[in-house]
Amino acid sequence: MSEEHGNLIKTPKQLIIMVFACFFVPLIIILLLLVYVNSGKRADTEASAEQLIKPVAQLNFKDASAPREMQTGEQVYKAVCSSCHATGAAGAPKFGDTSAWAARLGKGYDVLLTSVIKGKGAMPARGGANPADISDYELGRAVVYMANAAGGKLVEPKAPAEK
């Protein structure tokens, strides 16, 4: 009988070479793939690492005896209102959308402010803000800011008298 299939490895030297090749060739291929995959992400590594390790919430301690600084309408919008009004979530009229705000503007400032303070539809009372953090005056300024961005001509409310 003749041997049709012979052994590929005939000497101990060939065996050692094959063992090393079977170990190192896949290892080199894996390392080259890792270098290729990570080559485009070096610039963003530091920023994304900071984003990943930043805390979920921060504590901001306020001095209770310090005078209160009133926020502008834009600041209140960005802090409270933009979560829904920037995207139109839950049926909220989008910021600056003239057609969505037209019927609301026709009702006037007082009706808009009452809707904000008491809540309407899916919008919670005060837009979900705490009365200790944002006053009615500041909410009124936010209403004027959003309404005027949509083509309204509302006048900024008068500041409350200081106590």
Q: Report pLDDT for 32.
A: 93
131/123 Cα distance (integer angstroms): 15
- Classify domain 73-149 by CATH number: 1.10.760.10
How many whole angstroms separate alpha carbon 31 and alpha carbon 39?
Answer: 12
pLDDT at 25: 92
Domain range annotation of the chain: 11-39, 73-149
Per-position pLDDT tens, the chain of length 163: 456 777 888 899 999 999 999 999 999 999 999 888 887 665 556 667 777 777 777 777 777 777 777 878 788 888 888 888 878 777 888 888 888 888 887 888 888 888 888 888 878 888 877 777 788 888 888 888 888 888 877 778 777 776 5
Position 46 scores a pLDDT of: 65
Q: Which pLDDT value is given to residue 33?
A: 92
pTM, 2 dp: 0.58
CA dist 70 and 57 (Å) reads 23
Residue 134, classified by CB atoms within 10 Å of its CB into exposed (0-12), middle (13-18) or buried (19+), is buried
107 neighbors 115 (Cβ within 8 angstroms): no
- The pLDDT of residue 142: 85
